[in-house]
Amino acid sequence: MQIKNRRTSFKVITVVGARPQFVKAAALSPSLRATKMIDEIIVHTGQHFDHSMSDIFFHEMNIPAPTVNLGVGGGTHGQNTGRMIEGLEKVFLEHKPDGVLVYGDTDSTLAASIAASKLGLYLAHVEAGLRSFRRAMPEEINRVLTDHVSDVLYAPSAHAVELLAKEGISGEKVVNAGDVMFDVVNRFSSVAKNSSNVLERLCLHPQGYNLLTLHRKENVDDPEILRRVLDVIGVSRQPTVFLVHPRTAKMLDHFEINVSPLIQLVEPVGYIDMIRLIQNCSVVLTDSGGLQKEAYFLGRPCITLRDETEWTELVDVGANILVGTDPIKIEKAVESMISLNSVPYGIYGQGNAADLISQDLLMRLKKFGEN
């Protein structure tokens, strides 16, 4: 009788490229390595290449340094995605991984998914099943295509599982794992409370300011939209801390937009300072996907400056409100959400998503290797 040799380790390439993915990797990478059977190689596409949007997260959150940095960034969606596919294919052929792991819905995610699926590599998608139902969003295309080529889909909520089933993706390949960002917030919230001095540096008082981020093309590349959003936020009854994305800073200069003295312009901060700012603000205003959830996990109400969201369950429970860029809606939402004392809790698992995913992925890689 011939006995098959049992594998003692599996090589997984994790592809990241943007801030939300660095945060998620801070939860999952330690759990993957803790299995003692998964050798993880982190590949950074370079999609976010600015220090304030990239390097600081690896240092601050103790994420292993990327083995490879493709240095792709600064082009159009098509240019970046094409260059990433080419670069990632070379990396996959060189390192011969047993599996590829991707997060979320960025161009880096789509590029890795295409490269991995064409090479027949086992593909795992963390944060699967999200839908904004707006195909004009590049992220929507990225997440839909990635879900349909993935071998295992780790959904953050029961709602995400339901959306996948409506598209014919169901069964054992779909796992309601909870949200790894919940793991990260739980891990770093006390650290932020005890070690961050960002409130003192910016002369802020708890619950005495609003927190704003803007970066999406449709919001910051149109001077009329950018001006009207900042004008209405600038007359709020309390000051606003505006964390200015590099793209947005460029547009503010290009359009020569002057902001209200009640809006404090601040360069992007690291994760620890960001958590501290969210913990102590009155309300979050953002067009970011990840920040909507971070606000929820930290019990702060959120106003989303978009007409849709992939986190529809947060709108359903009243923790989040969609206002687009309509000044009247923004003004009313700020007034109503500032007075919201607490938000509902418990949609995205129990805070153990990383361990659940790492153990499940290891089991699947063992089975895949036997075929």
Catalytic residue flag (residue 254)? no
Burial class (CB in 10 A: 0-12, 13-18, 19+), 214: buried
Bridge partners, residue 152, by sequence? 124
3-state secondary structure of 263: strand
- CA separation (Å) from 122 to 8, 143, 193, 278? 18, 17, 40, 37
How far out from the chain centre does Cα 21 lie?
5
With a CB cutoff of 8 Å and minimum separation 6, the contacts of 61 are: 22, 23, 26, 184, 188, 271
Q: How far apart are CA 201 and CA 135, in angstroms?
A: 41
Q: Please, are residues 145 and 167 in contact by the beta-carbon 8 Å criterion?
A: no
Residue 167 CB coordination number (10 Å) = 12
CA distance 301 to 319: 5
Q: Which of 51, 215, 245, 254 is catalytic?
A: 215
Cite the active site residues.
215
